[in-house]
């Protein structure tokens, strides 16, 4: 890159500060649920949200707009302005509602969004320049106590990028998107958030003697390559039509089609079917809010923003997944999804799961694919006054966990986008070719 071009793509940090709630809020400890305290939740989930310019908003500062709305939203979502803390008297790990505030960083870059391909992969600006990292950098212990950090980076074209680092111990994907949506409502001029948040962590089961697995072990694990694939609506409809024809008019979702195709394509690309009978697994998180009932989570959990999901596991043999039709692989996935109510109930009651396995354990086993559906979380609908994001970029720092994330494509573009990190570099082309094959 030419020196001048590189300089234009250099992010300048203009200011950093703590943003407290805009009004007085309750203080003291808030208990976290069993699932909030699970070992794999002890991380800040990172993502970038890319917003195109709106000529009607020329002269309006995205950073100032979002900061004001953030302070107001924290009045309702006041635990997010606190810090994670540990003590025996408050029930172990909990949130200290101290109103210390959310780290907010305002930044700018001289190039336009189109100059960096709207942050398509590979990123032309290092992700850590667009993510909120306070300076001086907190210690590991200090950073582990933070719940939310936000950075707004303005581009020369009038567009901007919002970088989030959100504690998984306090919110799952639905919860994080719910909060971002509330900030968006206030930024657009609402007097108050449309759905009042509820803490309600006592609603989440605390199973007696529940298994708690270990953190994924990177030792000896394969390093996996990033690949983003745009999927057209015609592609999805093609496989939906195949399913309907094979099942006498049955319907399946885009998620089921794309995950079935990804699982099959990865199985073929990695060569798992040799030898025959090699076991492969597919894991996906499912929203468990509807399973708790109105007595535990009023309004169907509409205001609840904590962790409330269950990881379903579907197992088969590699040769079966590789040789079956996409329709038959969808059927395998659907059979697994049907088990959600009974499996979750058994887990909540403290009954040992199948084979004594912790359902929430994440593994670095190469034969296991972890998939996530971001299309229904609400990230793509967040609007701070400039319209919804052009696209959302989930980020991962673990290149040894086989993952596949389904996100919405560019705004107003039908279809979907698969963001994958699931095969080794030498298998990426094979995986890509298998994914685009519509036979």
Q: Catalytic residue numbers?
A: 168, 383
CA of 31: how far to CAs of 27, 145, 223, 426, in Å?
A: 13, 15, 37, 46
| 168 Cβ neighbours under 8 A, 6+ residues apart | 40, 41, 42, 43, 44, 45, 307
Task: Give Cα 142 to chain centroid, integer Å.
Answer: 23
φ and ψ of 303, to 5 deg: -100, 0
CA 102, CA 84: separation in Å to the nearest integer? 13
CB 34 within 8 A of CB 204: yes
DSSP conformational letter for 298: G
Q: What is the largest CA-CA distance in the chain?
A: 64
Task: Give Cα 18 to chain centroid, integer Å.
Answer: 24
CA 7, CA 194: separation in Å to the nearest integer? 43
CB 39 within 8 A of CB 216: no
User: Which tokens sit at 330?
Assistant: 């969808």
Question: What is the three-state SS of 53-104?
Answer: CCHHHCCCCHHHHHHHHHHHHHHHCHHHHCEEEEECCCCEEEEEECCCCEEE
Question: What is the three-state SS of 204-221?
Answer: CCCCCCCCCCCCCCCCCC
CA of 404: how far to CAs of 51, 217, 228, 332, in Å?
A: 24, 19, 9, 18
φ and ψ of 196, to 5 deg: -70, 130
> Burial level of 187, CB count in 10 A (0-12/13-18/19+)?
buried
CA 226, CA 273: separation in Å to the nearest integer? 23
Task: Give Cα 249 to chain centroid, integer Å.
Answer: 33
CB 371 within 8 A of CB 405: yes
């Amino acid at each position: 890159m030419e020196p001048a071009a590189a300089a234009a793509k250099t992010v300048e940090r203009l200011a950093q500060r703590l943003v407290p709630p805009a009004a007085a809020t309750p203080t003291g400890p808030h208990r976290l649920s069993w699932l909030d305290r699970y070992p794999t939740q002890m991380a800040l989930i990172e993502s970038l949200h890319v917003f195109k310019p709106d000529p009607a908003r020329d002269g309006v500062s995205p950073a100032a707009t979002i900061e004001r709305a953030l302070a107001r939203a924290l009045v309702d979502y006041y635990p997010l302005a606190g810090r994670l803390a540990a003590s025996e008297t408050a029930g172990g790990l909990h949130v200290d509602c101290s109103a210390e505030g959310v780290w907010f960083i305002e930044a700018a870059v001289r190039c336009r969004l189109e100059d960096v391909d709207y942050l398509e992969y590979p990123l032309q600006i290092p992700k850590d320049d667009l993510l909120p990292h306070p300076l001086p950098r907190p210690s590991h212990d200090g950073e582990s106590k933070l719940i939310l950090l936000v950075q707004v980076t303005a581009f020369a074209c009038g567009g901007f990028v919002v970088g989030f680092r959100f504690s998984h111990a306090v919110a799952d994907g639905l919860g994080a998107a719910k909060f971002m949506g509330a900030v968006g409502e206030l930024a657009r001029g609402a007097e108050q958030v449309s759905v009042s948040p509820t803490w309600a962590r006592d609603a989440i089961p605390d199973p007696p003697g529940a298994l708690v697995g270990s953190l994924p072990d990177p030792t000896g694990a394969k390093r996996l390559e990033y690949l983003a694939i745009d999927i057209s609506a015609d592609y999805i409809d093609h496989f939906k039509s195949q399913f309907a024809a094979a099942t006498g008019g049955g319907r399946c979702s885009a998620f089921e089609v794309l995950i079935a195709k990804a699982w099959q394509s990865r199985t073929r690309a990695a060569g798992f079917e040799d030898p025959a009978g090699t076991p492969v697994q597919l894991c996906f998180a499912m929203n468990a809010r509807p399973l708790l009932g109105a007595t535990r989570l009023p309004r169907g959990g509409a205001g609840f923003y904590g962790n409330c999901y269950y990881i379903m596991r579907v197992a088969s043999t590699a040769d079966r997944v590789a040789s079956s039709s996409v329709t038959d692989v969808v059927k395998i996935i659907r059979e697994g999804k049907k088990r959600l109510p009974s499996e979750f109930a058994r887990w909540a009651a403290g009954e040992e799961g199948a084979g004594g396995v912790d359902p929430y354990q994440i593994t670095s086993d190469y034969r296991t694919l972890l998939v996530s559906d971001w299309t229904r979380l609400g990230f793509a609908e967040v609007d701070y006054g400039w319209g919804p994001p052009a696209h959302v970029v989930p980020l991962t720092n673990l290149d040894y966990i086989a993952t596949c994330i389904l996100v919405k494509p560019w705004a107003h573009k039908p279809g979907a986008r698969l963001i994958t990190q699931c095969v080794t570099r030498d298998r990426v082309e094979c995986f890509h070719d298998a994914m685009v094959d519509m036979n």
